[in-house]
Structure formats: C-alpha cells, structure tokens
Amino acid sequence: MSFRLYHEMNKMKKGNILMENVIFIILIIVFISILFVFVTRQGSNQSVLEKQLAKQIALVIDEAEPGTQVQIRVEDEFNKYPGGKIQVDNNVVNVNFGSGAGYSYGYFNKVNVESNILDLNSDGFKGRYLTLIIK
C-alpha cells in the first residue's frame, strides 16, 4: 500500500466517524426537543387548564367576603384559547376553552358573584384579567 492510498483511507475513515457523531447529536437534539414539547403541552393542555382555573376560582370565591373584588390574571390562557368562556353562576364555576361543555366546579359560599373578563392597563394590572366582584 502506497503512502498516498493509506492517507486517503484514513481521511475517509475520519470523515465517517465525524458524520456518525453529527447524526447522533442531531438525533439526540430532536429527541430532547420532542420530549420538551410533549411535557410543556401536557402541562398546558385544554383540559388541565380548565380544571385548574375552575378550582382556583371556586376556592377564591369560597374564601372571599362580600364586598371583595378579585382579579385573576388569565392572559396566557386566553392567548392560547381566544374563544374561552368563564361563567360564575348559581354556585358553579364553569370554564370552557373548547367546543364542549367545559369543566364545572362548585363553591359553597352563599354570595352573588359578578364576573367579567377585562383588559386592564393600570398600575400593577396589565393584561387580561378575570374580575370577580363578590356581593
């Protein structure tokens, strides 16, 4: 084997090793990205958000005294599901971010609640808020 042929073979071998490693690293990055997307989507999917928000609102109303006004930031939820609805009526909180019936959770505090989704832009409150007026 001449020196030139040996040198060429050596270069090809090095190129193969480099290519294999690059493909391997790309595959790892793709796998990790898919996993990351899966985990973040699971945590913020429609059903989880509906349950979480309905229960949070129910607890806030249960704790509140008449005359209280509460603001809950719902900017992220409504950016993700722009057609979402939140209804508070007859001791039931209903949160609906999809086309179905949404998720309902009951509260036990005997109060009248007025709820509105407002875009606020005042001190300390910037963005979309659910405003609850407890009467």
Binding site for other proteins (CB under 8 A): 20, 24, 31, 35, 38-39, 42-43, 45, 48, 51-52, 55, 58-59, 62-63, 90-92, 104-111
Nearer to other proteins, 46 or 84 (CB): 46
Residue type, position 59, single letter: L
Shortest distance in whole angstroms from residue 125 CB to other proteins: 25
User: Residue 66 CB, nearest distance to other proteins (Å)?
Assistant: 9
Instruction: Kindly state the tokens that stand for 119.
Output: 């875009």
CB-based contact 107:91 (threshold 8 Å): yes
CB of 62 to other proteins, least distance (A): 5
- Residue 26 or 48: the one with the smaller Cβ distance to other proteins is 48
Choose among 57, 47, 44: nearest CA to 107. Answer: 57
Exposed/middle/buried for residue 15 (C-beta within 10 Å: 0-12, 13-18, 19+)? exposed
